[in-house]
Amino acid sequence: MGKTLAEGQLFARPTFVQVREDRSDPDGPTRPRPCSHRIVTSLPPPRSPVAREQGSATSARIGQRVLRALVESLTETAVLVSDRAGVIRAVNAVITSWAPRLVAGRVLAETAPAWLTAADASGTVTAHGGMGSRQVTARRAELPGGHHAWYLTDVTDARSTDRELRLAHGRAEFLAEASAGLLSSLDPRTCVTATAELAASRLADAAVVVTPPDRQRLRLTRAVAGRPGVEECALAVDPAEVPGLPEALAGSPPPPPRRTDPVRAPDWLLPEDFGAPVSLLVTPLPGNGVPAGALVLMRRLGGPFTVEEKAFAQVFAARAGAAISASVLYTEQARSAALLQEELLPPRLGPIRGTEVAGSYRPSRETLRIGGDFYDTYPAEESDGESTVVLGDVCGKGLEAAVLTGKIRNTLSALRLVETDHVRLLTLLNHALLNTAHARFATMVLAGVTPLGRGQVRLRLTTGGHPAPLILRVSGDVEEAGTSGTLIGAVPDVRATTFTTVLQPGESCLLYSDGVTEARGGVTGREFFGSERLKTTVAGCVGMPVEALVEHVELRTTEWLADRPHDDIALVGVAAPRGSVRVR
């Protein structure tokens, strides 16, 4: 090591110096000893430039083969590798099956989809786009030597599922909104209008609701998306001009919604200024046993309605048809009920010659308007004959009681023509009620009214299980008519007594139902209005017209109730003449 080595000797072969340290005496001096450590004191000879280039080329070829082998070994993910110049260096079979133009050696920008080319040029890490029929997500990864790889994943199914879920969610929300809107009204016209507007807003560019013909006329309700309001008209046209419309209107189980030739859509079907549709769909509006009509959907742009759109239109049409049908049924029933109510309500009291008459009726259920209390007047056939006033109370409340009330009124109207004696009349009525299926009874009071001249009126009063009438004299005294009797329709034998009296001018007789005396109120809300309070109220009406008497008693009873629940209340006043008869 002490002399200088020649350059040739330096690169001839390595020279090693072995050194061993003696550590047998930790405290003594270190002494060299043989050891196995080797120190390189020479370098390998350098290669020539040609050798270096050949080695680099060989390494590059080996690297390319390894890279391609590595990329091609990936069979579940599409992989593409390009260099800094944008040349594709390696692809695997997966990406080739997606895009055959993407092959090694070609320029990426000339063969890849535009979205991938843009992402590659901008250095974007992730990108999304279409590749053939697939939806693809691409992720970039940097590699040594200026190379980078794109890993592409097929997300077609995932995106399709997500799109279907969003579409289903949107349709469910629409159906919920549509149901709420359609069921918010029981008016048929409102339901039809809502159907047309909802369909135009979501299912098509325009919608027409066609309801079954009325007097040979089709009623059309047209709506256009984005246009406020609807167009309504009734036309004498032939529905056969629109294929599928007659079947839908007939309510026969037609085939699924039908796509017709837009050219065959007649002008009367189209909304104003809508233009010619490119696609038209007819679907029935099924009702509850009765067809509610048909729904016609139209598009100005786009292709025909898809299978999914047809199915969705059917679902909406089923809900709309049910709502329209229910509203029509409700309207018809309400109209029938109103007619029946008019027949079952106590009538306007007709005039009785030489007598003042007034009446008042308040049902227990204000919304129903009918109940178990009733009254009626039957004027005499002859000028000097006896007229009849009746006030009664059927056991129960509401519609069932009102039905029996109507039957009693009709029966009395017929019986009084053949029987004038009150007791025999009540006996005949009792037999009639016992022979019905109604397990109900009634109470009533009959008043025979005969003018005597000079302002006097003779009264014959007979009760059947009913509170006795009150007579208000001009002196202010209140008398209870001396009549009583058994319930009507409860037992086979009827017993009753008749009381006769004469009303002097200015005197009155009050017929009332037990809804007055049994009205609960007062401080506790449980105290009856009672007979004594009623007599006191009547006594305070001395000198009043009979209309004022009835009104005052009703007012005091109403104040006593203070909006509490109550039974039916009926009042009829009969008085000596005071000039004219006023009916309330």
Categorize the per-residue pLDDT at 214 as very low, low, confident or very high, splitting at 50, 70 and 90.
confident
Categorize the per-residue pLDDT at 169 as very low, low, confident or very high, splitting at 50, 70 and 90.
confident
Coil/strand/helix, residue 207: strand
Note the pLDDT of residue 9.
39
Structural domain includes residue 47: no
Phi-psi region of 437 (alpha: psi -120 to 50; beta: other; left: phi over 0): alpha
Beta carbons within 8 Å of 523's beta carbon, 6+ residues apart: none
pLDDT in tens, 364-397: 765 556 667 889 999 988 878 899 999 999 887 7
Q: How many domains does the chain have?
A: 4
Per-residue pLDDT at 176 exceeds 80: yes
Nearest alpha-carbon partner for 87 in 60, 66, 111: 111
Q: Which pair of structure tokens corresponds to residue 498?
A: 């008749």
Does residue 166 or residue 225 have the better pLDDT? 225
Structural domain includes residue 17: yes
Beta carbons within 8 Å of 430's beta carbon, 6+ residues apart: 464, 488, 489, 491, 492, 494
The residue written with tokens 């005499």 in the block is 380
Per-residue pLDDT at 93 exceeds 60: yes
Same domain for 193 and 148: no
- Nearest 5°: phi and psi at 412? -60, -40
C-alpha span between 505 and 12 (Å, rounded): 160
- Final residue before a domain boundary, out of 94, 122, 154: 154
Categorize the per-residue pLDDT at 6 as very low, low, confident or very high, splitting at 50, 70 and 90.
very low
CA 423 to chain centre: 58
Structural domain includes residue 159: no
Q: Which domain holds residue 558?
A: 346-575
Structural domain includes residue 429: yes
Note the pLDDT of residue 78.
86
Note the pLDDT of residue 4.
40
- Final residue before a domain boundary, out of 154, 181, 204: 154
Same domain for 429 and 295: no
Structural domain includes residue 458: yes
Does residue 279 or residue 402 have the better pLDDT? 279
- CB 96, CB 132: distance < 8 Å: no
Categorize the per-residue pLDDT at 258 as very low, low, confident or very high, splitting at 50, 70 and 90.
low
Same domain for 302 and 355: no
Per-residue pLDDT at 213 exceeds 70: yes
Per-residue pLDDT at 407 exceeds 50: yes
Structural domain includes residue 442: yes
Q: What percent of the chain has pLDDT over 90?
A: 38
Q: What percent of the chain has pLDDT over 70?
A: 80
* Element holding 40 (H helix, E strand): strand 38-40
Note the pLDDT of residue 517.
94
Q: How many residues does the chain have?
A: 584
- Final residue before a domain boundary, out of 154, 185, 203: 154
Q: Which pair of structure tokens corresponds to residue 337?
A: 């009920």
Q: What is the CATH number of the domain that holds 206?
A: 3.30.450.40
- By mean pLDDT, which of 3-17, 176-190, 518-532, 567-581 is the weakest? 3-17
Nearest alpha-carbon partner for 503 in 448, 461, 456, 550: 456
C-alpha span between 508 and 546 (Å, rounded): 7
pLDDT in tens, 240-249: 898 888 888 8
C-alpha span between 461 and 455 (Å, rounded): 19
Note the pLDDT of residue 14.
44
Per-residue pLDDT at 560 exceeds 50: yes
Query: Alpha carbon of 226 to those of 194, 299, 300, 305: distances in Å?
Result: 14, 13, 13, 20
Structural domain includes residue 294: yes
Nearest alpha-carbon partner for 407 in 454, 453, 442: 442
Note the pLDDT of residue 159.
67
Same domain for 420 and 481: yes
Same domain for 22 and 141: no
Note the pLDDT of residue 308.
86
Q: Which pair of structure tokens corresponds to residue 87?
A: 């040349």
Per-residue pLDDT at 495 exceeds 90: yes
Same domain for 323 and 243: yes
Per-residue pLDDT at 7 exceeds 50: no
pLDDT in tens, 57-73: 444 454 556 566 666 55
Same domain for 131 and 237: no
**Is the alpha carbon torsion for 393, 394, 397, 401 positive or negative?**
negative
Note the pLDDT of residue 71.
63
> Residue 283 class from Cβ within 10 Å (0-12 exposed, 13-18 middle, 19+ buried)?
buried
- CB 12, CB 44: distance < 8 Å: no
Query: Alpha carbon of 190 to those of 34, 133, 195, 225: distances in Å?
Result: 112, 46, 9, 18
Q: What is the CATH number of the domain that holds 143?
A: 3.30.450.20
Q: What is the CATH number of the domain that holds 364?
A: 3.60.40.10
C-alpha span between 472 and 543 (Å, rounded): 9
Note the pLDDT of residue 18.
45
C-alpha span between 24 and 30 (Å, rounded): 9
Categorize the per-residue pLDDT at 584 as very low, low, confident or very high, splitting at 50, 70 and 90.
very low
Q: Order of strands across the sheet with 293-299? A: 231-235, 217-224, 206-214, 293-299, 279-285, 258-260
Note the pLDDT of residue 481.
97
> Residue 284 class from Cβ within 10 Å (0-12 exposed, 13-18 middle, 19+ buried)?
buried
130-135: long-range contacts, CB 8 A cutoff, minimum separation 24: 131/98, 131/99, 132/98, 132/99, 134/98, 135/159, 135/160
The residue written with tokens 């535009």 in the block is 114
**Is the alpha carbon torsion for 159, 165, 168, 173 positive or negative?**
negative
- By mean pLDDT, which of 188-192, 275-279, 472-476 is the weakest? 275-279
Per-residue pLDDT at 476 exceeds 50: yes
Same domain for 370 and 316: no
CA angle 232, 234, 236 (to 5 degrees): 150
Coil/strand/helix, residue 502: strand
Q: Order of strands across the sheet with 569-575? A: 356-362, 569-575, 508-512, 470-472, 478-480
Categorize the per-residue pLDDT at 12 as very low, low, confident or very high, splitting at 50, 70 and 90.
very low
**Mean pLDDT, the chain, integer:** 82
Same domain for 220 and 76: no
- By mean pLDDT, which of 7-21, 39-53, 336-350, 507-521 is the weakest? 7-21
C-alpha span between 432 and 442 (Å, rounded): 12
